[in-house]
Structure 1
Amino acid sequence: MKKLLAAVTIATLAVSAGVAQAKDWKTIRFGVDASYAPFESKAPNGKVVGFDIDLGNEICRRLHAKCVWVENDFDGMIPALKAKKFDGVLSSMTITPQREEQIAFSKPLFDTPTALVAKKGSGLLPTADSLKGKSVGVEQGTIQETYAKQNWEPKGVKVVPYQNQDQVYQDLQSGRLDAALQDQVQAELGFLKTPRGKDFAQAGQPIPSGAAAIGLRKDDTDLKADIDQAIDGMMHDGTYKKLEAKYFDFDVAPKG
């Protein structure tokens, strides 16, 4: 009987410890690279703003949690997530098989293609033949960097990685780059339709990219379930459309 009581006590303590260790998601910290307007950028007052930020704040509202935004270079997002610097990556991160080996993803948030930007009248196209001998800027850690290095660099295109997208545009404007490769919507609204992009244009047709979502640790299945439920709610009750309309006059919702 004593042995039985001891076993029951140990089991009870183990369950209690498990409950005590369960994560309380009253605060959700999102990693963000604030150089990618209109998805995420820095306002004059220092706050991060953009479509991703609005989506994240709405998710937190539905989960009765406080959103905290942690700025981080994009190429360090996954290591920082794994190191628990923050709880999720909400920074226009496209779902790829390589990333899925390391982290989990929420349900998709939007789906936009990739585009090449170059000087007006350059005649450049997003092909290895057209870009051979040219320098193309990309943000480190992005799918655009991976695409350019896999498809163009072996054929004589100089692919130049930068810590953030603002640095890419600075060197494009100064003439140190012949072209830049990034998300099409980001290029259009965050550069081409601004004063700094007046001498540039999209070069050729866009390249399909895939859907972007929130990157999460694989162990945080409870947080993923909560976030997925919040995303479903936004999609179904019209909130997503309202937030989308603040930034775009076209649909960026995930396909399918």
Structure 2
Amino acid sequence: MKNALKIAVLAVALGAGAMGAAAQEVKVGFAAEPYPPFTSPDASGKWVGWEVEFMEAICTEAKLTCVITPVAWDGIIPALTSKKIDMIIGSMSITEERLKTIDFSDKYYNTPTGVIGPKSEKFEATPEGLAGKIIGVQVSTVHQDYATKYFGEKAAEIKEYQTQDEANQDLASGRVDAVQADAIALDAFLKSEPGACCDLKGNVKDDPAILGAGVGVGLRKGETELKDKINAAIKAIRANGSYDTFSKKYFDFDIYGG
């Protein structure tokens, strides 16, 4: 009887140990819309892109089971704070305003902000160059905030869109005169068939207070253990070369930035 009891206790202990060793499951939120080359669904509906490969790399390194959870962009921070998702990996810039509500990992990429417009028109990405124009931006983004501050007084209108794709399509259709967004995302559009209409007018003057200090993983405040795991994973994939390996599939320059 005593031997049977010892065996039972050992079995429970081993089971508990196995459960403790299981990978932590986290729901990773990003915008439920195509945002190439970072995230987009392929023909089968599977999400692919640079940011998907980044997510897979850090989750493997951190021994996390990550579940992709698309969320409407303008509700993605509330989804995080209400625990519907556990992390945001969605090209979200680290800004002082967002840091009031959520926390961020270390930067995992940093790229400039650009303005595009019709090839037939010549203008610069400045308040003077965009005077009298209708400028398309995605709602609830740093680009909306920047365009409102720097171009709002002279522009005819700052037109807001729920998705970047909608803004790009309206530019191709002639409903807006220019679009501001991340330069890499704009470059992907310019290389597409609809984007043949347009070209890059230039990058806007940087304002870290609005545009942020690069892109980070969005996290709930107080979740130090998860943050430490993510930061360690970012550092590790940068050091072991896997970051560069998957990045070269998409870019011919260092997306990590200065």
**Partner secondary structure for residue 130 of structure 1:** coil
Residue in structure 2 matched with residue 201 of structure 1 by the alignment: 199
On the 8 A contact 1:25/1:223 being kept in 2, the answer is: no
Structure 1 unmatched ranges of 5 or more: 1-21
Residue in structure 2 matched with residue 223 of structure 1 by the alignment: 226
TM-score normalised by the chain length of structure 1: 0.86
Residue in structure 2 matched with residue 58 of structure 1 by the alignment: 57
Matches for 1:83-162 after TM superposition, within 5 Å = 83-162=82-161
Identity fraction in percent: 34
C-alpha deviations, 1:203-254, integer Å up to 9, x for none?
A: 1344434310101001211100011111110011111110111110111114
On the 8 A contact 1:28/1:60 being kept in 2, the answer is: no
C-alpha deviations, 1:45-87, integer Å up to 9, x for none?
A: 1111111111111111122222211111222211111111101
**Partner secondary structure for residue 107 of structure 1:** strand
On the 8 A contact 1:136/1:177 being kept in 2, the answer is: yes
**Partner secondary structure for residue 170 of structure 1:** helix
2:27 alignment partner AA? R
**C-alpha separation in 1, matches of 2:244 and 2:205:** 25
On the 8 A contact 2:73/2:140 being kept in 1, the answer is: yes
On the 8 A contact 2:114/2:180 being kept in 1, the answer is: yes
Residue in structure 2 matched with residue 236 of structure 1 by the alignment: 239
Say how many residue pairs are matched.
232
**C-alpha separation in 1, matches of 2:130 and 2:77:** 30
**Partner secondary structure for residue 37 of structure 2:** coil
On the 8 A contact 1:105/1:215 being kept in 2, the answer is: yes
**Partner secondary structure for residue 132 of structure 2:** coil
On the 8 A contact 1:108/1:254 being kept in 2, the answer is: no
**C-alpha separation in 1, matches of 2:149 and 2:88:** 25
Deviation at 1:25, TM superposition (A): 6.1
Deviation at 1:160, TM superposition (A): 0.8
Structure 2 unmatched ranges of 5 or more: 1-19
Root-mean-square deviation (CA), in Å?
Answer: 1.6
TM-score normalised by the chain length of structure 2: 0.85
On the 8 A contact 1:73/1:164 being kept in 2, the answer is: no
Indicate yes or no: 2:38 matched with 1:39.
yes
Deviation at 1:35, TM superposition (A): 2.4
**C-alpha separation in 2, matches of 1:149 and 1:130:** 15
1:79 alignment partner AA? P
